């Protein structure tokens, strides 16, 4: 009974010490940004268009633009992975080969994520730009090894 009395009496102090219910500031900011996005219907999935560009000077595999409720995925046909998923290439593949390409895409994303987690950058714009660059690099290497 003595333990219960102490716990009841000092509950706020104990919870503060344990930080139960504490939401870190960065998580709170993320949650607020998510709520704002919902209010603007930004999170709703709409139309996705694919455009192809041949930019051999740019090693990025893709870029995405948002225009209203429409997302435009711009694929760089100079990139090895984009070449490997052309309609002609996909038509000649077995489902297991397509699944393998998809797995390589995800593995490349995982590698770029690992690099970012070990880096010191904290600005979202820099992080995302570097992530797309690294993802493009790793994906290209995975496909070139096929």
Residue 97: how many CA atoms within 13 Å on its side-chain side?
A: 10
Residue 18: domain span? 1-44
- Assigned domain for 102 exists: no
Does the structure show a pLDDT above 70 at 36?
yes
Contact (Cβ atoms closer than 8 angstroms) between residue 31 and residue 53: no
Does the structure show a pLDDT above 60 at 43?
no
Nearest alpha carbon to residue 114 among 138, 140, 143, 144: 138
Position 104 confidence tier, pLDDT thresholds 50, 70, 90: very high
Query: pTM (2 decimals)?
Result: 0.64
- Assigned domain for 17 exists: yes
- Assigned domain for 30 exists: yes
Q: In what order do the strands lie in the sheet with 70-76?
A: 47-53, 70-76, 62-67
Compute the average pLDDT of residues 16-31.
69
Report pLDDT digits (tens) over 51-85.
999 998 988 999 988 887 788 999 999 999 999 99
- Assigned domain for 8 exists: yes
- Assigned domain for 26 exists: yes
């Amino acid at each position: 009974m003595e333990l219960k009395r102490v716990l009841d009496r000092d509950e706020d102090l104990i919870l503060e010490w344990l930080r139960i219910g504490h939401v870190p500031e960065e998580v709170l900011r993320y949650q607020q940004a998510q709520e704002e996005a919902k209010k603007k219907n930004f999170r709703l999935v709409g139309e996705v268009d694919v455009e192809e560009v041949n930019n051999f000077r740019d090693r990025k595999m893709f870029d995405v633009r948002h225009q209203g409720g429409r997302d435009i995925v711009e694929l760089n046909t100079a990139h090895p992975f984009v070449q490997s998923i052309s309609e002609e290439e996909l038509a000649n593949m077995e489902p297991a080969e397509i699944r393998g390409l998809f797995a390589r895409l995800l593995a490349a994303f995982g590698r770029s994520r690992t690099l970012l987690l070990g880096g010191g950058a904290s600005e979202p714009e820099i992080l995302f730009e570097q992530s797309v660059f690294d993802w493009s690099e790793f994906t290209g290497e995975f496909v070139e090894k096929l």
